[in-house]
Amino acid sequence: MRPATIVPGVFAVGAIDWNRRLFDSLIPLPDGTSYNSYLIQASEKTVLIDTVDPVMTQDLFNHLDQLGVKKIDYVVANHAEQDHSGSIPAVLAKFPEAKVLCSTKCKPFLMDLLQVAEGRIQEVQDGETLSLGNRTLKFIYTPWVHWPETMVTYLIEEKILFSCDFFGGHLAGTDLFVTDESQVYEASKRYFAEIMMPFRTNIEKDLDKLKDIPIEFIAPSHGPVHNHPEFIMKHWRSWVTDEPRNIAIIVYVSMHGSTALMVNHLAQALGGKGVEVKVFDLTVTDLGKLAMALVDAATIVIATPTVLAGPHPNAVAATVLANALRPRLKYATIIGSYLWGGKTVETLKALIPNLNVELFEPILIKGLPKEADYASLDKLADIIAEKHQPLTKALPVKVTCDTKI
């Protein structure tokens, strides 16, 4: 592929990773990803905004060669994580006159992660500007999107925001600009849920820093360039600030069917009372979809059998994930089946210190559910539906499962 022109003199020179399916050995990538890097050729200086994952350094160099780039004056490192900064050592070797520009906190990160020589790094301050001749860069600190050192870079004359992970989404594709908003929405929400959700409070402040800046393009480090930036900015604001919706999530594991019967009954009872329900079988669930559901949900129900006197390991993993992501949940409870005893409730409750939730009385039953157990689940559905009443909107109620119960 050839470099793509955003505006004259500003080019996308990054790489597309069609085949990557796991990020950080943790995050599913169903649609691959891109590592976006941007070149600015001004009258006096040439600047590279971010680089690419080191496995694709040659793609970056091929694009620079196609543009006839002989000199780079500055490499802007908006974020030190290696999918953006990993090719910096190779770029500095190829262009020995180049300096790295980064935030104060980013400098030691680049030295520790990539062993970039201190003399090759120049710190920029929040709000600082840099003249490139006929173009001007402005650096804006956006801490905790999603590391403490992150910043964005704004090209003033063209009103382009180079946002790095801010407003990004893992999506491989050949389109320079957004052409399918529904696809980009899905990728962006997944990205926010998996990576950014724990930092909502910080991100709200960073959004406020950008609200009065005229932006015509957002050029993130993953996914296509937004030439109608209000679309993605509106959704990020919503994900950060909106109240939870009338949604209950049930995450479950069932070894011999008892817990599955409880889940099925509770899901139908909740749906019948006007609560939207999303059910996730933890033996097959895409954790990214679970994370996306957590963005909007008001209640989580953790359903598990008892294994070796405690919760099933898959239920433990899902609980740890929810605790780490810090969603806006308001309510939680635990249901499940056991036979001779255990500490399922105690164990799971200890795993959610970050969730500021009201915990409803757990329902743990012996063996298969009986009539009285189903009645207890009906009462739980009544409680959840009543608590959700202020969140109810005139929307169709749905009960969705990622696998058949």
DSSP string over 284-351: T--HHHHHHHHHH-SEEEEEEEEETTEE-HHHHHHHHHHHHH-----EEEEEEEESS---HHHHHHTT
Top CATH class, 247-401: alpha beta
SS3 state at 373: helix
pLDDT at position 392 is 78
pLDDT at position 252 is 98
As averages over each run of 10 residues, the pLDDT of the chain (405 residues) reads 94 96 85 96 98 97 97 98 97 98 98 97 98 98 98 98 97 96 96 96 96 97 97 97 96 97 98 97 94 97 96 97 96 96 94 96 96 98 97 62 57
For residue 162, the one-letter residue type is: F
Is the C-alpha dihedral spanning 345, 326, 184, 33 positive or negative? Answer: negative
111 membership: H or E segment, kind and range: helix 106-114
pLDDT at position 2 is 87
Note the pTM of the prediction, 2 decimals: 0.92
Domain ranges in the chain? 4-241, 247-401
CATH for 4-241 is: 3.60.15.10
pLDDT at position 393 is 63
Please choose, from the candidates 242, 195, 197, 199, the residue with its C-alpha nearest in 3D space to the C-alpha of residue 221.
Answer: 195
Helices in 126-171 by DSSP H: which ranges? none
pLDDT at position 326 is 96
